[in-house]
Amino acid sequence: MSKASACPAPTKPNLNWHLMHHSEAEHDLRHLIVDISRACKYISYSIQTTEAGLAGTKNEFGEDQLALDVLADKEIREFLCESGLVCCYISEEQPDIVELNPDGEYSVVFDPLDGSSLVDANFAIGSIFGIYKGGDVIGATPREQVAALYVLYGPRTLLVYSVGDGKGVHEFILNDVGEFVLLRDYLGIGDVAKNYSPGNLRAITTNDGYKKAVDTWLGEEKTLRYSGCMVADIHHILSKGQGVFTNVGGGADSKYPDGKLRHVFECGPFAFLAEEAGGAATDGTTAILDKKITAVDQRTPLIIGSKNDVESVSSLVA
Ligand code: AHM
Ligand code: MG
């Protein structure tokens, strides 16, 4: 007679259970991801309860920091410290690599609150994370990430993570008792985009290839989906199972010669998730996952989403 397990699979798997039993993440990596998710619960609460205003300080790029940017950065730092698992981190809100526990085996790269200028308009915003083993993120490539995740603070708070290696990309929802529970597993990105999401659109005045790409999308009558928060815009692709998101440069004399987005903590984590979901991410010539990280503030063009469209836009803008 076979024995009945005393611990059957839960009807609603939570993040910790999923990391343990589905993704079979190493003990410490699982704890680190859960600790990051705990920080994001506080951020989610702060967004709902804190009045959005300027903190009166500037980040390393000279941009005004919002009170919520600073708060989110602090909340994440506290949980990374508490975990004891992190030797250093790179944050959009910090000018340099921040050293934490010298014995910590992981590095974390993050944008604490992406799209925070949209807070007053009550648009969706998000947090982005990439996790590396060891302390040498500069000189590494994003393919060396051992996990990537983001949290989207919209009408609902969602968390999407992957540990790569064919284990898939999975979506969780923050429920009323403060638990991230599985909403959809194995998010996938099909090869053909019906939706397009054109960031740094000002670049079409000087980047002919980008203009051609946008004209093509218009001619094909694709559907525009652009909110101004890459977390929301790329989540749209993962959620609908297709789409293409771009943020490319406008040439040497333009405001953003290499596009607006940062390689290490914005593009790298999303490239990891997109490839795992069956999509692609490139700067036009090199896969984002294979592009070396040279500096904390390195920017890169990004074309991400459905493979066929990523390829056709790349051939125009490369
Ligand atoms: P942020 O990290 O300062 O919020 O900037 C990044 C954001 C992305 O989320 C978004 O895709 C992009 O900036 C929008 O830029 P633009 O308004 O120029 O299209
Ligand atoms: Mg950002």
73: domain range? 15-184
**Ligand 1 atom 5, closest CA:** 115
User: Is residue 158 located within the same domain as residue 244?
Assistant: no
* pLDDT of the residue at 274: 98
Kindly state whether residues 169 and 210 are assigned to the same domain: no
Picking from 161, 184, 207, the residue at the C-terminal end of a domain is: 184
CB 268 within 8 A of CB 130: yes
Say how many Å lie between the CA of residue 248 and the centre of ligand 1: 12
User: For the chain, how many structural domains are there in total?
Assistant: 2
Burial of 191 (0-12, 13-18, 19+ CB in 10 A): middle
CATH of the domain at 58: 3.30.540.10
Ligand 2 mean position, distance from CA 9 (Å) = 37
* Mean pLDDT for all residues in the chain: 94
Please list the ranges in the chain whose pLDDT falls under 70.
1-4, 52-57, 64-66
- 25 CA to centre of ligand 2 in angstroms: 27
Q: What is the structure's pLDDT at 196?
A: 98
Site residues for ligand 1, CB cut-off 6 Å: 92, 111, 114-116, 199-200, 228-230, 247, 260
Residues 44 and 174 grouped into a single domain: yes
Cα gap 287→280, rounded to integer Å: 8
| 189 occurs within a structural domain | no
Within a domain: residue 123?
yes
154 with 205, same domain: the answer is no
CATH number for the domain spanning 262: value is 3.40.190.80
Query: Is there a contact between 155 and 129 (Cβ–Cβ < 8 Å)?
Result: no
Which pLDDT value is given to residue 66? Answer: 65
Any domain includes 4: no
**pLDDT tens digit sequence for 241-289:** 999 999 999 988 888 999 999 999 999 999 999 999 999 999 999 999 9
pLDDT at 2: 56
- Looking at the fold, whether 82 and 63 belong to one and the same domain comes out as yes
In angstroms, the CA 127 to CA 142 distance is 17
The length of the chain in residues reads 318
In a domain, 7, yes or no: no
Helical (H) or strand (E) element with 16? helix 15-17
3 state SS of 176: coil
Judgement on whether residues 155 and 200 belong to the same structural domain of the protein: no
* 32 and 132 share one domain: yes
Which residue of 260, 265, 267, 304 sits with most ligand 1 atoms within 8 Å of its CB, as the best mutation to test the pocket?
A: 260
State which ligand 1 atom lies nearest to the alpha carbon of 202.
Answer: 18
The amino acid occupying position 202 is R
Domain boundary among 150, 184, 218: 184
Q: Are residues 77 and 100 located together in one domain of the fold?
A: yes
10 Cα to the center of ligand 2, angstroms = 35
Residue located nearest, by CA, to atom 14 of ligand 1: 228
Which residue's alpha carbon is at the smallest distance from atom 18 of ligand 1?
200
